[in-house]
Amino acid sequence: MADVSTEDHVSHEMGLHTEQLSGRTQQTFFDLTEEGGFAYTDSFEVDFNKRAEIDASNMGAKEVNLRIRELMQEGNGTIVLKNPGAKHSLCVGILNKLNVIVEGSLGYFGVGLIDGPNVRIKGRVGWSCAENMMAGTVVIEKNAGSTFGAAIRGGDLVCKGSVGSRTGIDMKGGTILVGGDTGAFSGFMMQRGRMVVCGNAGKNLGDSMYDGTIFIGGEIVDLGVDAVPGELTDLDRQWLTRKLSMYEMLPEKGVDHFTKIVAGRQLWNYDNLEPAEKKLIL
Amino acid sequence: MAGTSFKGAEIKDIDHHLKGGGIDSDREKEIGQHIGYRYDVNLLPDYDRLTPFLKDYLEFMGWDDLNWLEDIHMGYEEGNPAVFDRNINGWVSIPADMDLPDNQQDRDMIARELLIKFQMSPKHPLVQLNSAYRKF
């Protein structure tokens, strides 16, 4: 048999082997004893004590985001963004450990698609803040718009004020903390993760949620389809106390008054739907 | 009938998925394969059980708690313990020679540690994909 081609070799290295893989298991080709570090292999080495500033008053969103990347390449672990001017799509796509301090407000889709940084925003944020966030912490000192934390996958997203409607829509993980109230349809189609609202919740809370947990400290206007009350456990209380204390949001009266909302799981129709889909394909 | 009769959170035996190969529901019997999304994904972490590696990782990242790892749990695929890696959208098997603790909290901590080691490894599949397809 002829030698394998360069393409075949690359494919093999990427895990694309010719042998039959059983099930859906990913074959792993790494040794647990190898030193891999704590960061992605292509991430920048930054020092939290090395600090830089960006004045965004005369810059576009793309310029700001590229400048953040350059500063990370130079090893800056703390970046202060001044005069953001509520521009849209600022501080997006940061896949690195980093401290970001925003001295002002962000527009739509701020800090979206991030994986790792700790962001503190001293103003407000517009729609879809931290959309698709993967990891890290985002703390907003004032209020936030609608679809706060849309499709969030992981990390802590904190708004010390109130947020608009559809908070955590389609969230698949992570934690959303709200110090004030949240609007209608919060937790819509939630699939995983935790949402904590210290104030009140609007109409249709947790509508069509498949999984995950919602904790509400105030009044709930009404619950959405398949959202049902759950039992607040000791582990829940410990976790709530711990998490809210971390962000200095623990209510004076503690956490015992929180209402826990979970999925009733009456929408778990996979067993019934999948054969129908298969039939359609065939 | 609306809804499934099989709910992961209701399973009391820690080794349930190891013993039966994870084939429980009618649908799983039909396809001969375990459906892995039915675990208790709402279990909160017990921070008294953090491993030294995880403590170092949190300090490195500047986080006060497990952050995104709070959503990581040990699951089971085809009767084998595994952890789901969202970056490759697939399960990664736990080494066969590893002894599993007798409680889910400790198993989850092991899964978190292994997942970090896997994701940060130079041999992670995304490293090659990144170098091959990265546009900017």
Q: In angstroms, rounded to a whole number, what is the distance separating the alpha carbons of residues A55 and A103?
A: 10
User: Could you give the strand order of the β-sheet that contains B90-93, starting from the edge strand earlier in sequence?
Assistant: A25-26, B90-93, B80-85, B74-77
State which amino acid sits at residue B28. Answer: E
Reported as type and span, the H/E element at residue A244 is helix A234-246
Chain-centre distance of CA A184, in angstroms?
Answer: 20
- Residue-wise pLDDT for B50-62, tens only, equals 999 999 999 999 9
Whether chain B has a CB inside 8 Å of the CB on A225: the answer is no
Tokens at residue B4, please? 């499934």
Q: Do B71 and A212 touch (CB under 8 A)?
A: no
> What is the number of structural domains in chain B?
1
Instruction: Name the pLDDT band for B13 (thresholds 50, 70, 90).
Output: confident
Closest CA–CA distance from residue B128 to any residue of chain A (Å): 6
Mark yes or no for CB contact B121/A38 under 8 Å. no
Residue A29 pLDDT more than 60? no
Determine what percent of chain B falls in helix, strand and coil, rounding each to the nearest 5. 40, 10, 50
User: What is the reported pLDDT for A21?
Assistant: 41
Distance CA A249, CA A178 (A): 9
Nearest chain A residue to B121 by CA: give it. A36
Q: In what order do the strands lie in the sheet with A156-159?
A: A47-55, A76-82, A99-103, A115-121, A135-140, A156-159, A172-178, A192-197, A213-216, A259-263, A227-230
- Which of A26, A211, A274 lies closest to B91 in CB terms? A26
Q: Which residue has the tokens 């600090």?
A: A51
Task: Determine, yes or no, domain membership for B80.
Answer: yes
Per-residue model confidence (pLDDT) at position A116: 96
- Cβ of A28 within 8 Å of Cβ of B93? The answer is yes
Tens digit of pLDDT for each residue in A191-201?
999 999 999 99
Inside any domain, residue B1: no
Report yes or no on B3 lying in a domain: no
Minimum-distance CB partner of A173 among B71, B90, B118:
B71
Q: Is the residue at B99 inside a domain?
A: yes
Q: Which domain holds residue B129?
A: 8-133
Q: Please tell me the predicted confidence (pLDDT) of residue B81.
A: 87
Domain membership flag for residue B87: yes
Q: In the prediction, which pLDDT does B40 show? A: 79
Q: Say whether pLDDT at B103 is over 90.
A: yes
Lowest-pLDDT range, A211-215, A254-258, B77-81?
Answer: B77-81
What domains are there in chain A, each with its CATH number? Answer: 143-281 (2.160.20.60)
* Cβ <8 Å between A14 and B128: yes
Decide if A243 and B65 are in contact by the 8 Å CB cutoff: yes
Q: Which of A28, A262, A268 sits opposite B3 (nearest CB)?
A: A268
Over the stretch A138-170, which tens digit does the pLDDT of each residue have? Answer: 999 999 999 999 999 999 999 999 999 999 999
Interval A215-262: pLDDT, tens: 999 999 999 999 999 999 999 999 999 999 999 999 999 999 999 999
What percent of chain A has pLDDT above 90? Answer: 80
pLDDT at A150: 98
Assembly ipTM: 0.89
Above 70 in pLDDT, residue A22?
Answer: no
- The CA distance from B82 to A71, in Å, is 38
CB A262 within 8 A of CB A173: no
Question: What is the predicted pLDDT for the residue at A120?
Answer: 98
pLDDT of residue A2: 44
The closest CB to that of A97, out of B62, B77, B92, belongs to B62
User: Chain B neighbours among A 70-89 (CB < 8 Å)?
Assistant: none
Inside any domain, residue B47: yes
The token duo for A207 is: 């509508």
Cα torsion B84, B85, B91, B97: sign = negative
What pLDDT band is residue B2 in, cutting at 50, 70 and 90? very low
Residue B1 has pLDDT above 70, yes or no: no
Residue B43 lies in a domain: yes
pLDDT at A271: 58
Q: Do A23 and B90 touch (CB under 8 A)?
A: no
Which residues contact residue B5 at a Cβ distance below 8 angstroms, ignoring those fewer than 6 apart?
A: B25
A10 contacts on B by Cβ (under 8 Å): 128, 132
pLDDT grade, residue B131 (50/70/90)? confident
pLDDT at A8 over 70: no
Query: Average pLDDT in the A34-60 region?
Result: 92
